[in-house]
Amino acid sequence: MTGEPSSILVLGGARSGKSRFAEGLALDCVADRHYVATGRAFDDEMRDRIAKHRSDRGDGWTTHEEPIDLVGQLKRIDDPSRVVLVDCLTLWVTNLMLENHDVAARSAELATALPQLTARVILVSNEVGLGIVPENRMAREFRDHAGRLHQQIAARAAEVYFVAAGLPLKMKG
């Protein structure tokens, strides 16, 4: 890895190819690769998804499961020789909401921490604001939290990509 460390935000819809694209960005780095998984396996379907993600990713990654303390985990593994892929921010927001955390404060904490990290950090998230207005309050709050988080991270990221149908569109950088 050369140059100053910087963060990259990769957005896209479900099954858009965003995780695969982000993993490709990480593989392009000559670095020690770390994967921070924010998802929780609450049921068999989610356990299967997590297992498939691990299998598809293959060897060469150190995996950290961290559903809540994302900033703390990033600080613990921060090192200029590393690339860290976080997948995904929307699952992190879900976890924060389910445990009644102050999502706005935690989002601001993450946005503030990113420029201080020495590792290259690639963050994956679902763009959920392109569809219809959700019918219930919690879903609307989730959409709003995710949208504000994406704006904060995008403002600080060196690069931002939007992935649809497996095709990345570079939006910044």
Tokens 């994302």 correspond to 70
Report the pLDDT value the prediction gives residue 42, as an integer from 0 to 100. 81
Report the pLDDT value the prediction gives residue 1, as an integer from 0 to 100. 37
Of the pLDDT bands very low, low, confident and very high (cuts 50, 70, 90), residue 2 is very low
Q: Which two tokens stand for residue 157?
A: 């990221």
Neighbours of 123 (CB within 10 A): 28
Q: For residues 130 and 13, what is the distance between their CA atoms, to the nearest angstrom?
A: 9
52-70 pLDDT, tens digit each: 777 777 788 999 999 999 9
Q: What is the rounded average pLDDT for all residues in the chain?
A: 92
Q: Which residues contact 80 (CB under 8 A, 6 or more apart)?
A: 1, 5, 118, 119
Catalytically active residues, by annotation: 53
3 pLDDT more than 80: no
Q: Stretch 123-128: mean pLDDT, rounded?
A: 96
Q: Which two tokens stand for residue 33?
A: 């690769």
Report the pLDDT value the prediction gives residue 46, as an integer from 0 to 100. 81
Q: For the chain, what percent of residues have pLDDT higher than 90?
A: 76
Q: Which of 58, 67, 116, 125 is nearest to 92 (CA)?
A: 67
17-54 pLDDT, tens digit each: 999 999 999 988 877 999 999 988 888 888 888 787 77
Of the pLDDT bands very low, low, confident and very high (cuts 50, 70, 90), residue 162 is very high
Q: Which of 45, 121, 40, 138 is nearest to 86 (CA)?
A: 121
pTM to 2 decimals?
0.92
Report the range of poorest mean pLDDT among 28-32, 58-62, 126-130, 137-141: 28-32
82 pLDDT more than 80: yes
4 pLDDT more than 70: no
- Give per-residue burial for 143-153: e unless 16+ CB within 10 Å, then b: bebbebbbebb
Report the pLDDT value the prediction gives residue 85, as an integer from 0 to 100. 97
Q: In three state form, how does the secondary structure of the chain look?
A: CCCCCCEEEEEECCCCCHHHHHHHHHHCCCCEEEEEECCCCCCHHHHHHHHHHHHHHCCCEEEEECCCCHHHHHHHHCCCCEEEEEECHHHHHHHHHHCCCCHHHHHHHHHHHHHHCCCEEEEEEECCCCCCCCCCHHHHHHHHHHHHHHHHHHHHCCEEEEEECCEEEEEEC
